[in-house]
Amino acid sequence: MARFRNPVLPGFHPDPSICRVGTDYYLVTSTFEYFPGLPLYHSRDLVHWRQLGHVLDRPDQLPLAGVRSSNGLFAPTIRYHDGRFYVICTLVGGHDRAGTFVVTAADPTGPWSDPYWLPEAEGIDPSLFFDNGRAWCVGCRPLTEPDYPGQTEIWLREFDPIGMRLVGAEQVIWRSALGGAVWTEAPHLYKVDGRYYLLTAEGGTGHDHAVMIARADQITGPYQGSPRNPVLTHRHLGRDHPIVGTGHGDLVCTPGGQWWMVLLGMRPYGGYFYNLGRETFLVPVRWAEGWPVASEGTGRVEDSYPAPDLPEHRWPAEPATDNFEAPTLAPLWNVLRTPDKQFWSLEERFGHLRLRVRPPTLADLDTPSFVGRRQQHIDFAARTAVDFQPESEHESAGLALVQSDAFHLTLTVTGRRQRVVRLARRYQRSTEVLAEAPVAEGRVYLGVEARGQNYQMRFATRPDRWKPLGEPVDGRLLSTPVAGGFVGTYLGVYATSDGQPSSNHADFDWFEYLALDAG
């Protein structure tokens, strides 16, 4: 029997939400401060996924200017009804606009509509549910007068999909499955065998994360929690377990009646550190005595399961190297926050990604000249080739590995009088140069090879003569337990003039990313 391996979406893919349309499955995840926002994935067998694009890919859809690291887009939900796709999400910490909104599309590849804002939808983690000609919205929010810190509640209100607004009276339908639970969140509604089911998470999106379930005869309740709650958690397995923090699930049923859950989890390595952030996992679900049983027999998210009873459907493998010969950036690339104007070009020098050298740095709450992709493997290698001649001592361009504005690594070409390759570390808002070496004029090759938490930086002036730069860097600064927040590590190409004006540019010929093993 064919098997699949978890996670099905490795790297920073938190808060997954899924829907089925016929024999096709669509999935979205959170993106926080990254633009474009909300990657949209497509599968026909629940195991092999391809990225179609992003739900929010136009700057006027997504006002992320100035948002802090790990603010931005929280926990989207995707649903399909009557020929249209709906994605509902919350923008947290936006300066120009914030709150919950809905976007729609007739085709998942877009175009998606401009946001319809729902000012009455308080809190985060909104979800939509369509039932018998009516639509409902649920979300979570902190109590106005909590009994303890972190106490939240789940509210319900009818949603008008024509007027794109909330209507009718609001009701609080749930607070927690367990006494004293913090951050009851991630609500999703389903109807199974005539009953309404409310799936939630509790414990906070860290080690104590857990999946809970409640049911009712009417959508408005009252809801009864399962006596077997939590229906899935790893909080009791210890911090040395290979998968931790499992929670924030969403359910889907195949045409053959099989149920599956997508959910997030983390894979620590080198201690309790998870540089890849929260990833998307898939587990089987069976219904017994009116309740879902997740990962029957073990009650844990396993690293391998028998594949769903669906025809296997693999997509063409993505190339390891982007030669920047397409007219637009591939969907895997993101930038930080919404750019006020495009700072990159794929046309000015064919076969190259040209970055403008601009004042913002990775340490600023701005949109620096950074184009990055997710780190998706524990052991990996990434390389690029850059043509760049600094015109001032403030200018630099090269490779960057980013966790947040306060925690990142850069490997750049810099120096006007004497050009050098410089390795710098940003840690707790202090920048330190770790190593540098002179380089001659012309093209420079830059790379990083990670083996667990050892990140070895390399450079070359010929593609067959790589040299290490400094000692391996401790990669744990790129993990959430060190840096805080909700995102995983990004790596990519970067250019800056460090606060000074510049008219220079850097040209990157290609970017290569390789997994070094199955990690």
Rg (CA), the chain: 23
Which phi and psi angles does 122 have, rounded to 5°?
Answer: -80, 155
Residue type present at position 282: L
Edge-to-edge strand ranges of the sheet holding 134-142: 124-131, 134-142, 152-160, 165-174
Do you know the residue count of the chain? 519
> Is the Cα dihedral 337, 342, 345, 347 positive or negative?
positive
β-strand partners of 77: 88
Burial profile 233-264: b = 16 or more Cβ within 10 angstroms, e = fewer: bbbeeeeebebbbbbbbbbbebeeeebbbbbb
Determine the Cα–Cα distance for residues 203 and 182; give it in Å rounded to an integer. 5
Q: Is 185 noted as a catalytic residue in this protein? A: yes
* Helix, coil or strand: residue 378: coil
* 15 flagged as catalytic: yes
Token digits for 19?
């829907």
Q: What letter does residue 278 receive in the DSSP assignment?
A: S
Tokens (6 digits) for 310: 């669906």
Supply φ then ψ for residue 477, to 5 degrees. Answer: -65, -15
Residue with tokens 């990690």: 519
Catalytic residue among 15, 250, 322, 449: 15
Q: Whole-angstrom Cα distance, residue 262 to residue 28?
A: 11
Please, are residues 185 and 125 in contact by the beta-carbon 8 Å criterion?
Answer: yes
Neighbours of 203 (CB within 10 A): 24
Alpha carbons 188 and 351: distance in angstroms, whole number: 45
- CB proximity list for 327: less than 8 A, separation 6 or greater: 346, 347
- Nearest-angstrom CA–CA distance, 385 and 387: 7
State the catalytic residue, choosing from 45, 185, 202, 449: 185
- Whose tokens are 């073990």? That residue is 298
The Cα 209–Cα 186 span in angstroms is: 11
Distance of CA 346 to the CA centre of its chain: 25
Q: Where are the beta strands (DSSP E) in 221-269?
A: 224-225, 232-233, 244-253, 259-266
Cα–Cα distance for residue pair 257/345, rounded to 1 Å: 48
Q: How far, in Å, are 14, 33, 435, 487 from residue 279 at the CA level?
A: 5, 17, 33, 10
User: With contact defined as beta carbons under 8 Å apart, do 36 and 334 qualify?
Assistant: yes
Please return the burial class of 177, using the count of CB atoms within 10 Å of its CB with bins 0-12, 13-18 and 19+: buried
The residues that are catalytic are: 15, 185
